[in-house]
């Protein structure tokens, strides 16, 4: 055996210890070497050395259940840092149905391989049907099983969006969608509600974990306090109109344009999130500033407790009014 | 019987889709498409305040966000008797225009392009362009680190894959740039939509966002950047690929299907809504030499459930539709219903719209030998992106004029409260195709709510007459020389831009075994 071959063989042994399958690795190298115009042995050795030398990017598995892919799309909208740099430079995105190139068995193989290795960051988007597993099947098996299996060896679990955290809209459907708070009882889950997830919340949480190796400080319902500390209401620029009882009735009237949206169904007074400060879409806007109302999508009661959405007749709105009458919203100076 | 292969999950689409094909002599002989996730939004809406519908149905899909919001709002407008002021319609047009630009860009670059290029060819780039060399370094760096996820694994590039290093590296650099551009298009929509995905400003009666002049200027500046990218990058890329290395695929018309096209029409150019950017129309059995477009009549839509997991029922109009599951139904294999127009399976989407519109750019490609199919679908999508960009400029001008008139309105406030009873339908040409919502209101609450969505048209199973849906039909005859590498199957399916979350209601309960991409 030539010296080079011995070296290559030794490296392959070490890779195998790291959980990289020798046969797959060689097969992969053969194809890639041909493409790059290198000899197979030369390429294999070089790649194996590179793996030794570079610190491995953390593996990420992103599972989608009863979702709309809105959280995925929301995440890809981040410009600074660009989503592409997070996906290609910071993490090793092993499985993501909407993003990955592979389909079918190719994609399932990567999933199983990564699960076997463990130590990955697990991101869940979408709820899990509790009425019947058959409401959400992926690759021929219940999504619930995938979540339970993937959670076992995850280094951190992040639930993105209203559906994956507390059930969201699917919770009110016949499929009875549940979030990870119910699907994975007792597990530490970082909850990033809002419908969809705010891209900053997810990027920041991932970067926090990669930098410190720790889960950020969470509130009582698993939300990072760095993003979920004050109510929408506390930072709302329409706040003074709420206190003064000026409520918008007609969207056509420029006079009322900035008045409080309470009568149109706003749930900002009991919704905890930093939307008014952080804003959305690169700071361009957020729900309340487009004359829309806060629907309370960061709260576990979303959607059932917030409906009817566009009037002050929901249970939540009644509660808000009662709190206002009791003077509970008065700001302490 | 040929070899049967299953692709599950079908990735880079919205939703959970399973495709099964039977292969004989290197070609697809038969095909079945089914979806694997359900939430049951329509059932949720029963008994709710009707105004909730536009907010809730937007969440059918977060990729083509807000298409259901506007469609639902239009159905509610009709049921409430609301008359949306022209200012409100202009803002609806503009935010949906921004959604179109984002949606078509993300579909071509992020979701589809990788099916057509051999990305590893970037390593052979020998040019001197600094930006392209940076792209080469990035990809080669990933390969060297043995971590090319999520770009690999992949199906093996085939005879049709583009391998020219210069073309591939420029496509990859545009892939990265397009990610930024589609995010910026979303930001443009958020100027009035509030945020994306899922706008917050479209409600029954109009919009909530009272515009100011700075917003108009801001939108216009951002639109300039999109226009430049669409004209100088997106359209040239699609044409260079479509008439270059992919011309053989285009000429073969891979992914053609039934050649029946349906467009509901959309984007009103005036308050009456008679003139539309995308005209409505129906074509049964396309003859490219003599295109005959019939008028569209919503009453001719029916939905069949013979092969769907619903209680047996004869085909009915969506107003009479029901959703009673029958999980043990014999012969059923999908929970997508089978919508038909006068008993015909139809294609909806960009190619249907551009053919119905007799778009000269697309017809020119056809006259040169491109058959309507997967490649032509990408071309049609690029062509109509430009039409939408141009229309946005017109709408901005009109909005400025409208805004400065006394009594400018964006919302029909007089019809904000739900009526005692009413019914209405709403239509929208979503990026993926013709979308319809039907609502009935009783005692101020939703009494029935039905949607027929683009991917229901395209992804439908067979109807009671055994006619295949458009996905299924378009796969017939597709070359699959290597059953382990069914790259043409995924090319065809992705050319439709599948969006299954809204089309699908439940999984086939009898096939719980692990459904891998397997050869039976």
Q: Which residues of A are less than 8 Å from B6 in CB distance?
A: 104
Q: Are residues A239 and A263 in the same domain?
A: yes
Q: Determine the Cα–Cα distance for residues A77 and A75; give it in Å rounded to an integer.
A: 5
Is residue B409 in a domain?
Answer: yes
Q: Determine the Cα–Cα distance for residues B182 and B104; give it in Å rounded to an integer.
A: 9
CB pairs under 8 A between A and B: 317
Active-site choice (B71, B392, B451, B499): B499
CB contact under 8 A, A173 and B153: no
Pairing of strands A59-64, A120-125: parallel
Mean pLDDT (chain B) is 88
Is residue A333 in a domain?
Answer: no
CB contact under 8 A, B10 and A103: yes
Average pLDDT over residues B34-56: 83
pLDDT greater than 70 at residue A43: no
Active-site choice (B68, B107, B381, B505): B68
- For residue A299, give its domain range: 233-325
Q: Which residues of B are less than 8 Å from A123 in CB distance?
A: none
Active-site choice (B173, B455, B460, B474): B455
Average pLDDT over residues A280-285: 96
Is residue B146 in a domain?
Answer: no
Q: Is B392 a catalytic residue?
A: no
Q: Determine the Cα–Cα distance for residues B463 and B265; give it in Å rounded to an integer.
A: 25
Mutant choice from A59, A110, A134, A263 vs B, greatest count of B C-beta within 10 A: A134
Q: Are residues A43 and A82 in the same domain?
A: no
Predicted local confidence at residue A18, as pLDDT: 44
Q: Which residues of A are less than 8 Å from B518 in CB distance?
A: 105
Tens-place pLDDT, residues B87-103:
999 999 999 999 999 99
Is residue A316 in a domain?
Answer: yes
CB contact under 8 A, A250 and B413: yes
Of the candidates B36, B111, B191, the beta carbon closest to that of A285 is on B191
Contact A119/B at CB under 8 A: no
* Residue numbers of B between 363 and 422 with CB closer than 8 Å to A: 408-411, 413
Q: Determine the Cα–Cα distance for residues B76 and B366; give it in Å rounded to an integer.
A: 40
Q: Are residues A7 and A64 in the same domain?
A: no
Active-site choice (B64, B71, B392, B451): B64
Task: Record the tokens describing residue B82, joined without a space.
Answer: 């609301």
Mutant choice from B7, B12, B39 vs A, greatest count of A C-beta within 10 A: B39
Average pLDDT over residues B194-201: 96
Return the SS3 of B478. coil
Confidence band, pLDDT 50/70/90 cuts, at residue A182:
very high
CB contact under 8 A, A251 and B410: yes
Task: Record the tokens describing residue A189, joined without a space.
Answer: 């889950």
Average pLDDT over residues A49-71: 76
Find residue B446's DSSP bridge partners.
B441
Predicted local confidence at residue B481, as pLDDT: 87
Contact B109/A at CB under 8 A: no
Tens-place pLDDT, residues B370-390:
999 999 999 999 999 999 999
Is residue B338 in a domain?
Answer: yes
pLDDT greater than 60 at residue B74: yes
Is residue A188 in a domain?
Answer: yes
Q: Determine the Cα–Cα distance for residues A286 and B37; give it in Å rounded to an integer.
A: 30
pTM of the model: 0.89
CA atoms lying within 13 Å on the CB side of residue B505: 28
Is residue B53 in a domain?
Answer: yes
Within 10 A of B236 (CB to CB), how many other CB atoms are there?
A: 14
Q: Give me the number of domains chain A comprises.
A: 3
Q: In chain A, whose CA is at the least distance from the CA of B55?
A: A309
pLDDT greater than 90 at residue A305: yes
Is residue B229 in a domain?
Answer: yes
Of the candidates A20, A76, A290, the beta carbon closest to that of B193 is on A290
Average pLDDT over residues B231-254: 92
pLDDT greater than 70 at residue A38: no
Task: Record the tokens describing residue A22, joined without a space.
Answer: 């020798």
Contact B134/A at CB under 8 A: no
What Å distances lie between residue B68 and A285, B293, B306, CA to CA? 21, 27, 26
SS3 content of chain A, % helix, strand, coil (to 5): 45, 15, 40
Predicted local confidence at residue B135, as pLDDT: 86
Contact B159, B118 (CB under 8 A): no
Contact B269/A at CB under 8 A: no
Question: pLDDT above 90 covers what percent of chain A?
Answer: 63
Q: Are residues A258 and A207 in the same domain?
A: no
Q: Give me the number of domains chain B comprises.
A: 1
CB contact under 8 A, A97 and B409: no
Contact B378, B495 (CB under 8 A): yes
pLDDT greater than 50 at residue A56: yes
Q: Is B451 a catalytic residue?
A: no
Residue that wins the pLDDT comparison between B38 and B224? B224
pLDDT greater than 60 at residue A35: no
Average pLDDT over residues B253-279: 93
Tens-place pLDDT, residues A133-175:
878 877 778 999 999 999 999 999 999 999 999 999 999 988 8
Q: Determine the Cα–Cα distance for residues A126 and B399; give it in Å rounded to an integer.
A: 38
Is residue B267 in a domain?
Answer: yes
Q: Is B432 a catalytic residue?
A: yes
Encode A72-141 in three state secondary structure: HHHHHCCCCCCHHHHHHHHCEEEEECCCCCCCHHHHHHHHHHHHHHCCEEEEEECEEECCCHHHEEECCE
Q: In chain B, whose CA is at the least distance from the CA of A54?
A: B145
Predicted local confidence at residue A325, as pLDDT: 94
Whether cis (ω within 30° of 0) applies to the bond prior to B412 is no
Q: In chain B, whose CA is at the least distance from the CA of A169?
A: B56
Q: Which residues of A are less than 8 Å from B143 in CB distance?
A: 32, 36, 47
- For residue B97, give its domain range: 33-115+176-478
Q: Which residues have a Cβ under 8 Å from the Cβ of B229 and sit 6 or more positions away?
A: B105, B177, B178, B181
Predicted local confidence at residue A41, as pLDDT: 58
CA of B66 vs chain A CAs: smallest distance (Å): 11
* Residue numbers of B between 169 and 188 with CB closer than 8 Å to A: 176, 179-180, 182-184, 186-187
Terminal-to-terminal C-alpha distance of chain B: 10
Return the SS3 of B135. helix
Q: Determine the Cα–Cα distance for residues B263 and B428; give it in Å rounded to an integer.
A: 9
Contact B313/A at CB under 8 A: no
Is residue A228 in a domain?
Answer: no
pLDDT greater than 90 at residue B337: no
pLDDT greater than 70 at residue A31: no
- C-alpha R_g of chain A: 24
Q: Which candidate, B203, B202, B183, places its Cα nearest to that of B192?
A: B202
Average pLDDT over residues B228-252: 93
pLDDT greater than 60 at residue A202: yes
Contact A58/B at CB under 8 A: no
Predicted local confidence at residue B14, as pLDDT: 57
Predicted local confidence at residue B225, as pLDDT: 98
Predicted local confidence at residue A48, as pLDDT: 53
Q: Which residues of B are less than 8 Å from A99 in CB distance?
A: 11-12, 110, 150
Predicted local confidence at residue A95, as pLDDT: 87
Is residue A92 in a domain?
Answer: yes
Contact A96/B at CB under 8 A: yes
Return the SS3 of B114. helix
Is residue A227 in a domain?
Answer: no
Active-site choice (B71, B392, B463, B502): B502
Predicted local confidence at residue B506, as pLDDT: 28
Q: Determine the Cα–Cα distance for residues B183 and A328; give it in Å rounded to an integer.
A: 40
Q: Are residues A261 and A185 in the same domain?
A: no
Q: Are residues A101 and A181 in the same domain?
A: yes
Q: Are residues A148 and A243 in the same domain?
A: no
Question: pLDDT above 70 covers what percent of chain B?
Answer: 91
pLDDT greater than 50 at residue A191: yes
pLDDT greater than 50 at residue B240: yes
Q: Determine the Cα–Cα distance for residues B30 and B481; give it in Å rounded to an integer.
A: 15
CB contact under 8 A, B203 and A94: no
Residue A23 burial (10 A CB sphere; 0-12, 13-18, 19+): exposed
- C-alpha R_g of chain B: 23
Predicted local confidence at residue B158, as pLDDT: 87
Q: In chain B, whose CA is at the least distance from the CA of A80?
A: B180
Confidence band, pLDDT 50/70/90 cuts, at residue B313:
confident
Average pLDDT over residues A71-75: 93
Q: Is A29 a catalytic residue?
A: no
Average pLDDT over residues B494-498: 86
DSSP summary character for residue B372: S
Of the candidates B48, B208, B516, the beta carbon closest to that of A105 is on B516
Q: What CATH number should be reported for the domain holding residue B454?
A: 1.10.645.10
Task: Record the tokens describing residue A314, joined without a space.
Answer: 């929901």
Confidence band, pLDDT 50/70/90 cuts, at residue B419:
very high
Q: Are residues A45 and A70 in the same domain?
A: no
Q: Which residues of A are less than 8 Å from B192 in CB distance?
A: 290
Q: Are residues A49 and A141 in the same domain?
A: no
* Residue numbers of B between 139 and 158 with CB closer than 8 Å to A: 140, 142-147, 149-155
Q: Which of B27-41, B198-212, B441-455 has the highest mean pLDDT?
A: B198-212
Q: Is A233 a catalytic residue?
A: yes
Q: Determine the Cα–Cα distance for residues B262 and B486; give it in Å rounded to an integer.
A: 29
Return the SS3 of A193. coil
Among A35-39, A66-70, A107-111, B355-359, the minimum mean pLDDT is found in A35-39
Average pLDDT over residues A59-72: 92
Predicted local confidence at residue B125, as pLDDT: 93
Confidence band, pLDDT 50/70/90 cuts, at residue A84:
confident
Q: Are residues A48 and A67 in the same domain?
A: no
Average pLDDT over residues B321-340: 79
Predicted local confidence at residue B20, as pLDDT: 83
pLDDT greater than 60 at residue B2: yes
Q: Determine the Cα–Cα distance for residues B31 and B2; give it in Å rounded to an integer.
A: 12
Is residue A281 in a domain?
Answer: yes
Q: Are residues A176 and A240 in the same domain?
A: no
Could you give the angle at the alpha carbon of A165 between the alpha carbons of A160 and A170, nearest 5°? 100
Confidence band, pLDDT 50/70/90 cuts, at residue B508:
very low
Q: Determine the Cα–Cα distance for residues B379 and B238; give it in Å rounded to an integer.
A: 6
Q: Which residues of B are less than 8 Å from A250 in CB distance?
A: 411, 413
Within 10 A of B444 (CB to CB), how many other CB atoms are there?
A: 13
Is residue B164 in a domain?
Answer: no
Among A102-116, A257-271, B11-25, B448-462, the minimum mean pLDDT is found in B11-25
Is residue B137 in a domain?
Answer: no
Tens-place pLDDT, residues B134-175:
888 888 888 888 777 777 667 788 888 899 999 999 998 998
Task: Record the tokens describing residue B415, joined without a space.
Answer: 């019809």
Could you identify the residue written with the tokens 């890779």? Answer: A15
Q: Which candidate, A230, A313, A239, places its Cα nearest to that of A278?
A: A230
Q: Are residues A203 and A120 in the same domain?
A: yes
Q: Which residues have a Cβ under 8 Å from the Cβ of A77 and sit 6 or more positions away?
A: A83, A199, A281, A282, B183, B186, B187, B196
Mean pLDDT (chain A) is 86
Is residue A47 in a domain?
Answer: yes
Confidence band, pLDDT 50/70/90 cuts, at residue B511:
very low
């Amino acid at each position: 055996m030539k010296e080079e071959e011995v070296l290559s063989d030794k490296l392959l042994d070490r890779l195998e210890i790291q959980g990289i399958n020798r046969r797959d690795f060689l097969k992969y190298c053969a194809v890639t070497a041909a493409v790059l115009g290198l000899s197979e042995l030369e390429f294999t050795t070089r790649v194996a050395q590179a793996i030794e030398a570079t610190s491995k990017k953390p593996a990420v598995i992103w599972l989608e259940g009863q979702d709309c892919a809105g959280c995925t799309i929301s995440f890809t909208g981040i410009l600074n840092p660009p989503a592409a740099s997070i996906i290609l430079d910071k993490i090793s995105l092993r499985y993501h149905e909407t993003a990955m190139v592979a389909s079918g068995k190719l994609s399932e193989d990567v999933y199983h391989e990564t699960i076997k290795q463990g130590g990955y960051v697990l991101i869940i988007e979408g709820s899990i049907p509790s009425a019947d597993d058959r409401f959400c099947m992926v690759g021929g098996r219940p999504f619930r099983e995938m979540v339970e299996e993937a959670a076992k060896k995850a280094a951190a679990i992040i639930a993105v969006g209203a559906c994956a955290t507390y059930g969201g809209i699917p919770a009110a459907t016949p499929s009875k969608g549940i979030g990870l708070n119910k699907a994975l009882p007792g597990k530490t889950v970082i909850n990033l509600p809002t419908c969809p997830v705010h891209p900053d919340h997810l990027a920041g949480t991932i970067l926090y974990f990669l930098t410190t190796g720790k889960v950020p400080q969470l509130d009582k319902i698993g939300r990072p306090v760095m993003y979920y500390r004050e109510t929408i209401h506390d930072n709302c620029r329409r706040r003074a109109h709420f206190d003064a009882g000026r409520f918008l009735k007609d969207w056509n009237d420029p006079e009322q344009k900035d008045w409080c949206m309470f009568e149109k169904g706003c749930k900002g007074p009991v919704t905890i999130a930093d939307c008014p400060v952080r804003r959305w879409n690169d700071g361009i806007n957020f729900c309340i500033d487009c004359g829309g109302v806060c629907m309370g999508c960061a709260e576990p009661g979303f959607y059932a407790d917030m409906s009817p959405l566009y009037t002050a007749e929901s249970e939540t709105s009644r509660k808000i009014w009662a709190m206002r009458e009791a003077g509970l919203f008065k700001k302490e100076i | 019987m040929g070899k049967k292969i299953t692709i599950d999950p079908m990735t880079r689409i919205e939703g959970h889709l399973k495709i099964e094909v039977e292969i004989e002599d290197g070609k697809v002989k038969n095909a079945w498409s089914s979806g694997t996730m359900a939430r049951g939004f329509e059932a949720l809406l029963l008994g709710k305040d009707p105004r909730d519908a536009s907010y809730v149905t937007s969440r059918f899909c977060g990729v083509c966000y807000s298409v259901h919001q506007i469609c639902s709002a239009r159905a509610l407008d009709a049921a409430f008797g609301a008359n949306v002021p022209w200012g409100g319609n202009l803002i609806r047009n503009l935010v949906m225009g921004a959604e179109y630009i984002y949606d078509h860009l993300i579909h071509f670059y992020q979701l589809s392009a990788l099916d057509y290029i051999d990305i590893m060819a970037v390593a052979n780039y020998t040019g001197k362009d600094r930006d392209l060399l940076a792209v080469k370094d990035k990809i080669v760096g990933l390969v060297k680190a043995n971590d090319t996820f999520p770009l690999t694994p992949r199906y093996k590039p085939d005879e049709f894959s583009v391998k020219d290093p210069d073309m591939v590296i420029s496509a990859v650099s545009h892939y990265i740039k397009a990610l930024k551009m589609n995010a910026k298009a979303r930001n443009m929509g958020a100027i009035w939509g509030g945020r994306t995905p899922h706008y917050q400003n479209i409600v029954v009666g109009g919009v909530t966002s009272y515009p100011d002049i700075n917003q108009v200027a801001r939108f216009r500046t951002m639109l300039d950047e999109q226009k430049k990218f669409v004209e100088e990058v997106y359209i040239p890329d699609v044409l260079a690929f479509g008439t270059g290395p992919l011309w053989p695929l285009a000429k073969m018309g891979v992914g053609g299907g039934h050649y029946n096209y349906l467009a509901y029409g959309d984007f009103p150019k005036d308050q009456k809504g008679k003139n539309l950017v995308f005209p409505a129309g129906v074509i049964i059995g396309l003859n490219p030499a003599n295109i005959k477009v019939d008028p569209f009549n919503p009453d001719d839509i029916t939905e069949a459930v013979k092969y769907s997991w619903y209680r047996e029922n004869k085909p009915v109009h969506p107003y009479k539709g029901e959703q009673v599951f029958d999980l043990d139904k014999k012969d059923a294999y999908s929970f997508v219903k089978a919508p038909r127009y006068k008993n015909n399976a139809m294609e909806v989407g960009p190619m249907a719209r551009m053919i119905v519109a007799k778009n000269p750019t697309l017809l020119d490609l056809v006259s040169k030998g491109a058959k309507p199919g997967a490649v032509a679908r990408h071309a049609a999508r690029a062509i109509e992106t430009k039409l939408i960009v141009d229309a946005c400029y017109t709408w901005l001008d009109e909005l400025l004029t409208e805004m400065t008139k006394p009594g400018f309105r964006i919302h029909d406030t007089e019809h904000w409260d739900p009526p005692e009873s009413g019914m209405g339908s709403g239509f929208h040409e979503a990026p993926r195709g013709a979308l319809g919502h039907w609502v009935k209101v009783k005692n101020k609450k939703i009494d029935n709510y039905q949607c027929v969505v683009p991917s229901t048209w395209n992804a439908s199973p067979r109807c009671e007459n055994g006619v295949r849906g458009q996905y299924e039909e378009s796969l017939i005859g597709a070359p699959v020389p290597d059953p382990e590498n069914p790259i043409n199957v995924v090319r065809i399916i992705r050319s439709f831009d599948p969006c299954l979350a809204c089309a699908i209601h439940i999984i086939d309960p009898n096939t719980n075994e692990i459904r891998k991409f397997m050869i039976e």
